[in-house]
């Protein structure tokens, strides 16, 4: 792209000379495979890492993946809905509890 739009750019000239330069060395990268970025990769050596002391006890940073195996004796939509509600209602933790029927 840079060769097409700005052929006199220093990076374009470097790309062109690298691709056109062809000394056939067996098992060595050739052409565009020889190109490497000229910029230095960014490194954050002093990046603060989270420790157990930094995290609040009540707050989780990631959601926990859980697998639940279901056994449905009758294959029907109502049975599936009932089992899903049994699983999801305790997980909601909204504090609303169902009143027992009299």
What 3 state SS string does 63-94 have? CCCCCCCCCCCCCCHHHHHHHHHHHHHHHHCC
Whether residue 24 is contained in a domain is answered as yes
pLDDT of res. 65: 73
pTM value > 0.85: no
Whether residue 11 is contained in a domain is answered as yes
Whether residue 102 is contained in a domain is answered as no
Among 47-56, 67-76, 77-86, the range with the most confident prediction by mean pLDDT is 77-86
User: Domain residues for 28?
Assistant: 2-34
Q: How many domains does the chain have?
A: 1
Whether residue 22 is contained in a domain is answered as yes
pLDDT of res. 86: 85
Contact call for residues 73 and 79 (beta carbons, < 8 A): yes
- What average pLDDT is seen over the chain? 66
Whether residue 16 is contained in a domain is answered as yes
Whether residue 25 is contained in a domain is answered as yes
CA 17 → CA 1, 31, 32, 40, 72, distances in Å? 15, 9, 10, 22, 68
pLDDT 10s digits, 21-66: 666 677 776 666 666 655 555 555 555 555 555 445 555 556 667 7
């Amino acid at each position: 792209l840079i060769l097409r739009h700005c052929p006199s750019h220093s990076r374009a000239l470097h790309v062109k000379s690298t691709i056109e330069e062809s000394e056939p060395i067996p098992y060595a990268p050739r052409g565009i495979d020889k190109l490497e970025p000229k910029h230095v990769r960014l490194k954050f050596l002093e990046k603060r890492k989270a420790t157990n002391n930094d995290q609040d006890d009540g707050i989780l940073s990631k959601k926990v993946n859980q697998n639940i195996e279901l056994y449905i004796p009758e294959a029907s939509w109502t049975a599936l809905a009932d089992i899903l509600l049994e699983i999801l209602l305790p997980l909601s933790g909204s504090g609303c509890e169902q009143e027992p029927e009299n």
